[in-house]
Amino acid sequence: MTAADQHRHSQSAIAREPDPGTSGWVGWIAFAGVMMILLGGLHVFQGIVALVKDEYFLVTSNGLAVNVDFTAWGWTHLIGGALVILAGFGVLAGQMWARVVGVIVAVVSVLINVAFLAAYPFWSLTMIALGIVVIMALTVHGADIKARR
């Protein structure tokens, strides 16, 4: 083994320093992006259920905080979920617009699920908790993840 080979071998055995421009919060932002994709998928699923089988829910639409039929709720969840999925991919790509959309849509998701609590409490509480986690991750250190150029 030549001296150059030994040097290369010893360099690969040494733990590499992380990129100085990257913080530990990048993982949380990636987590938020993945959670947004998951949250959006769950909203799409909830929207489809509301559109095709409204008797699945525990109360009629009259028992909701906002008296709107399940078809309207279904379309709201479906369209909102698709938007959250797109913004989640944008967050993973480091796009600022996606972080802003992510926070806005997560806030709206939390509010919608508060209104939807009577129809399916456990599901709504889960969606509220996920929305809060997304808001926290995107607002605390969202700028730590940047788009690659």
Mean pLDDT of 128-137: 86
Task: Look at residue 65 in the predicted model and tell me its pLDDT.
Answer: 54
Higher pLDDT, 65 or 104: 104
Mean pLDDT of 117-144: 81
Question: How far, in Å, are 2, 46, 106, 123 from residue 92 at the CA level?
Answer: 43, 24, 16, 26
Cα radius of gyration (the chain): 21
- pLDDT of residue 89 exceeding 90, the answer is yes
Task: Look at residue 141 in the predicted model and tell me its pLDDT.
Answer: 65
Give me the residue spans of the domains in the chain. Answer: 36-144
- pLDDT of residue 104 exceeding 80, the answer is yes
- pLDDT of residue 105 exceeding 80, the answer is yes
